[in-house]
């Protein structure tokens, strides 16, 4: 157990407060990707069954829909075996995604999981 002195220190403040900074960075980067690169990512996955069925609905749903599509595409790229098994994406499409888009998706995922893990660590 941590003593009372720790929770009244600046270290505890920055440990707990930095989760909000990481969350804000993730949301800002997600907003940037959904505005700047979402169309390129959709074009890179032309045979995706999920995007074929849901693209027009989610793109017209506003900022939340664009966030949802961005996160779904990131999940397809990060966990391809699961989405190939479900039939959401084609293996050839995933192999042909441009490297700069894959790098942006990896950064997106690292921010997401980093913020989540840091939140769990700082609340313990």
- The string of pLDDT tens digits covering residues 66-83 is 999 999 999 999 999 999
Mean pLDDT, range 8-37, rounded to an integer: 84
Q: How far is the C-alpha of 82 from the C-alpha of 86, rounded, in Å?
A: 6
Residue 56's pLDDT band (cuts 50, 70, 90): confident
pLDDT at 95 over 70: yes
Please report which residue ranges of the chain form alpha helices under DSSP H. Answer: 4-7, 10-36, 38-44, 49-59, 63-78, 80-86, 91-95, 99-123
Q: How far is the C-alpha of 76 from the C-alpha of 44, rounded, in Å?
A: 12
| Cβ within 8 Å of residue 72, ≥6 positions away | 50
């Amino acid at each position: 157990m941590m003593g009372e002195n720790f929770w009244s220190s600046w270290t505890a403040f920055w440990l707990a407060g930095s989760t909000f900074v990481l969350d804000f960075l993730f949301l800002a980067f997600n907003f940037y990707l959904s505005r700047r690169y979402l169309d390129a990512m959709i074009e890179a996955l032309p045979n995706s069954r999920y995007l074929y069925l849901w693209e027009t609905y989610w793109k017209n749903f506003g900022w939340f829909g664009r966030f949802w599509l961005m996160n779904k595409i990131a999940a397809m790229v990060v966990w391809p075996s699961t989405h190939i098994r479900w039939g959401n994406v084609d293996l050839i499409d995933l192999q042909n995604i441009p490297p700069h888009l894959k790098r942006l998706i990896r950064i997106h995922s690292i921010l997401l999981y980093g913020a989540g893990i840091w939140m769990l660590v700082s609340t313990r």
